[in-house]
C-alpha cells in the first residue's frame, strides 16, 4: 500500500516542478501599450542621455504592461519616479526655460487628468501619447539643443 502512495506523491512533485519551470500561458497582448512603448523610443532621437533613460524606462514600463508582466506595477512606479526626477532636473536648468517648464506643465497636467478621468480603453493610450509623450518630447528636444553645449560640465559641478 505504501508504494502506490509514494508513486502518487512523486508524480505530484514532478507535476509541480514542471509547472514552476514552465512560463505561464501567453496572455493577451495590449497593443495600445505596445504603441506607447514605441512612442517612448522617440526620446532616443534627441541623442541626449536623458532621452536614452526615458526611452529605456518607457519601453520597460509600457512593454511590461503590454505583455502583462508580473512586476508591471513596480516598473511603472520606477518609471514615474525617474520621470519626476528628470522633470525636476530639466526644469532647474535655466538654459531650457521657459519652454521646458511649459511643456512639463502640460504633460504633467494631462497625465494626472488621464489617470483619474474615466475614458474608453484605447482613449487613455491616445491621450497619453498625444498629451504626455509629445509635449515632453518637444521639451526635451528644446532642452537638448539649448543646453547641449554646457552639458554635462555645467550640471555636474
According to the model, what pLDDT value does residue 30 have?
85
27's CB contacts (< 8 A; 6+ apart) are: 67, 68
Residue 140 lies in a domain: yes
Residue 6 lies in a domain: no
Residue 108 lies in a domain: yes
Q: Which domain, by its residues, includes 108?
A: 27-146
According to the model, what pLDDT value does residue 110 have?
95
Residue 117 lies in a domain: yes
According to the model, what pLDDT value does residue 14 have?
57
Q: What is the pLDDT of residues 95-125, one digit of tens each?
A: 889 999 999 999 999 999 988 888 766 688 8
**Rounded Cα distance, 64 and 67, in Å:** 6
Residue 118 lies in a domain: yes
According to the model, what pLDDT value does residue 152 have?
54
Assess contact for 50 and 90: CB atoms under 8 A: yes
How many residues make up the chain in this entry? 157
Structural domains of the chain, count: 1
Q: Is the pLDDT of residue 42 over 90?
A: yes
According to the model, what pLDDT value does residue 11 have?
62
Residue 18 lies in a domain: no
Residue 151 lies in a domain: no
Mean pLDDT across 49-64: 94
State whether the Cα torsion 16-20-21-24 is positive or negative.
positive
Residue 109 lies in a domain: yes
**Per-residue pLDDT band at 7 (split at 50, 70, 90):** low
CB atoms within 10 A of CB 81: 11
Three-class HEC string of the chain: CHHHHHHHHHHHHHHHHHHHHCCCCCCCCCHHHHHHHHHHHHHHHHCCHHHHHHHHHHHHHHHHHHCCCCCHHHHHHHHHHHHHHHHHHHHHCHHHCCHHHHHHHHHHHHHHHHHHCCCCHHHHHHHHHHHHHHHHHHHHHHHHHHCCCCCCCCCCC
**Per-residue pLDDT band at 28 (split at 50, 70, 90):** confident
Grid coordinates given for 29 = 497582448
Amino acid at each position: 500500500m505504501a508504494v502506490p502512495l509514494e508513486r502518487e506523491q512523486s508524480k505530484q512533485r514532478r507535476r509541480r516542478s514542471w509547472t514552476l519551470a514552465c512560463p505561464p500561458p501567453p496572455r493577451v497582448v495590449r497593443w495600445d501599450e505596445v504603441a506607447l512603448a514605441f512612442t517612448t523610443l522617440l526620446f532616443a532621437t534627441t541623442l541626449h542621455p536623458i532621452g536614452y533613460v526615458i526611452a529605456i524606462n518607457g519601453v520597460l514600463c509600457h512593454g511590461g504592461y503590454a505583455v502583462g508582466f508580473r512586476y508591471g506595477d513596480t516598473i511603472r512606479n520606477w518609471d514615474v519616479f525617474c520621470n519626476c526626477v528628470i522633470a525636476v532636473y530639466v526644469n532647474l536648468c535655466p538654459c531650457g526655460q521657459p519652454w521646458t517648464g511649459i511643456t512639463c506643465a502640460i504633460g504633467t497636467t494631462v497625465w494626472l487628468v488621464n489617470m483619474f478621468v474615466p475614458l474608453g480603453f484605447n482613449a487613455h493610450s491616445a491621450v497619453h501619447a498625444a498629451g504626455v509623450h509629445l509635449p515632453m518630447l518637444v521639451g526635451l528636444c528644446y532642452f537638448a539643443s539649448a543646453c547641449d553645449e554646457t552639458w554635462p560640465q555645467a550640471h555636474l559641478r
